[in-house]
Amino acid sequence: MAMLELRGIDKVYRSHGRPPVHAVRSLDMEVEKGEIVALLGSSGCGKTSTLRMIAGFESVTSGSIAVRGRRIDALPPARRKVAMAFEGYSLYPPLTVRENIAFALKSRQVSRSEVSRRVEAIARLVEIEDILENYPRVISGGQQQRVSLARALVRDADLYLLDEPMGQLEPQLRAVLRGRIKSLLAEREMTAIFVTHDQTEASALADRIAVMEDGVLQQFASEKELKERPANLFVASFIGEPPMNLLETEVKRADGGFRLSVGPEVAFYISGDGLDQTAQRALAAAPRVRVGIRPQRIAVGEGAVRVRIVSNQWLGDQSHVAGECAGHLLIAVVPNRVAARPGDVVPFALGPRHLNIFGADGVCIRHAEVS
């Protein structure tokens, strides 16, 4: 049995004198016990509405929400056994940091020594031991966010709901805290769902990522799967830093396979052997398709595609090389430094096996081979 089960969730906001807003559309999702799931999307994609419906701050327009097989969508928030960290922190101003964190444990049957032990353990984890006796208004935004996280994680709950949990954290601390929180969640087998617009954070923390756009779940898969095998053009153009290069190509049959040409000089040959029946048929029917290749799959300095360099930026641990090719901008990301200046012509290698092919409706016809 799944820990959390969303079935056919719809959310429509109706307000007087304005057209109704369909924030979430027939969303189905299952989250297993101990899993960490990210709801990822740009603002207005429905991710926060979804989280708030699980927490009970919004009603569902239709559909059902169940935790451990028990329907909770009609219950008030307090009886859902969920812990939540809010984007705006929502710390209680008259309480100290310690009291804020302990507050969640007070009503439960927990002894005082146990409360203080748990508060201190979680405080150490998010590095707020030194400010436990301070009041929320005197601590920085990053510290407030860590307190808010601690207050949610210290509780015993079926589900931990975190709304943009780490957006304000100090950059030097972020990577370490991500690791510690992930390790804590794994160790205690806590089930967590968090909302974020930052895919770096989603990839770092989540076991699976639900990519949402326009209220529709686009793909729900691991980070690697999203990057290597995007379900559609939206995911392909959204996921990745930077996202996939997408090129418009013309399809022609050739030698039992297909020839996808970007321009007179650049073309890819896809052999028929590697394609299943549906892909064969889809390609044969489509006059034009889009091909996508991840920037990290392009090799620089070798290959047949000649590219005029537009920019070459080294970021300390990787280089981002952008160039123009048959009217398209191609971006390659390589781990080493590249000696190329804007204006130079440099060969790029785009291996056919690394290509994803998208049909006119945006759905992926063929995925790249995962090495």
22 binds another protein (CB under 8 A): no
Q: What is the DSSP letter of 107?
A: T
Which CB sits closer to another protein, 269 or 314?
Answer: 314
Stretch that binds another protein, among 188-196, 272-280, 282-290, 317-325 (CB under 8 A): 317-325
> Whole-number minimum distance, CB 19 to another protein, in Å?
14
Q: Can you read off the two tokens belonging to residue 222?
A: 């691991």
Which CB sits closer to another protein, 13 or 269?
Answer: 13
Residue reference for tokens 């990822």: 40
Count of positions (residues) in the chain? 371
Q: Can you read off the two tokens belonging to residue 149?
A: 């996280």
241 binds another protein (CB under 8 A): yes
Site for another protein, residues 31 to 70, rule: CB under 8 A: 42, 58-59
310 binds another protein (CB under 8 A): yes
Q: What is the DSSP letter of 287?
A: S
How many Å apart are CA 84 and CA 151, to the nearest integer? 8
Work out which of 247, 298, 331, 355 binds another protein, going by CB under 8 A: 331
Alpha helices in 24-111 (DSSP H): 47-55, 97-106
Phi, psi of 276 (to 5 degrees): -80, 175
Judged by DSSP in three states, 132 sits in: coil
Stretch that binds another protein, among 81-89, 160-168, 278-286, 312-320 (CB under 8 A): 312-320
Whole-number CA gyration radius for the chain? 24
242 binds another protein (CB under 8 A): yes
Give residue 34's region: left, alpha or beta (phi > 0; psi -120 to 50). Answer: left
Work out which of 1, 74, 121, 176 binds another protein, going by CB under 8 A: 176
Work out which of 62, 271, 278, 313 binds another protein, going by CB under 8 A: 313
Stretch that binds another protein, among 84-92, 153-161, 175-183, 356-364 (CB under 8 A): 175-183
318 binds another protein (CB under 8 A): yes
Residue 242, class by beta-carbon neighbours within 10 Å (0-12 exposed, 13-18 middle, 19+ buried)? middle
172 binds another protein (CB under 8 A): yes
**Strands (DSSP E) along 197-298, which ranges?**
208-213, 216-221, 245-254, 257-261, 267-270, 288-293
Work out which of 48, 144, 191, 203 binds another protein, going by CB under 8 A: 203
317 binds another protein (CB under 8 A): yes
Site for another protein, residues 182 to 201, rule: CB under 8 A: 182-183, 186, 197-200
121 binds another protein (CB under 8 A): no
Query: Residue 10 pairs with which residues in a beta bridge?
Result: 62
Alpha helices in the chain (DSSP H): 47-55, 97-106, 112-125, 141-153, 171-187, 199-205, 223-228, 233-238, 277-285
Work out which of 320, 351, 352, 362 binds another protein, going by CB under 8 A: 320
Residue reference for tokens 């008259």: 94
Q: Can you read off the two tokens belonging to residue 336?
A: 């080493």
Stretch that binds another protein, among 1-9, 150-158, 326-334, 347-355 (CB under 8 A): 326-334
> Whole-number minimum distance, CB 47 to another protein, in Å?
14
298 binds another protein (CB under 8 A): no
Which CB sits closer to another protein, 112 or 353?
Answer: 353
Give residue 225's region: left, alpha or beta (phi > 0; psi -120 to 50). Answer: alpha
Q: Can you read off the two tokens belonging to residue 247?
A: 């090129």
Work out which of 26, 62, 278, 311 binds another protein, going by CB under 8 A: 311
333 binds another protein (CB under 8 A): yes
Q: Under the rule (CB under 8 A), what is the footprint of another protein?
A: 13-14, 42, 58-59, 171-172, 174-176, 178-180, 182-183, 186, 197-200, 203-205, 223-224, 238, 241-243, 296, 310-311, 313-318, 320, 322, 329, 331, 333, 335, 342, 371
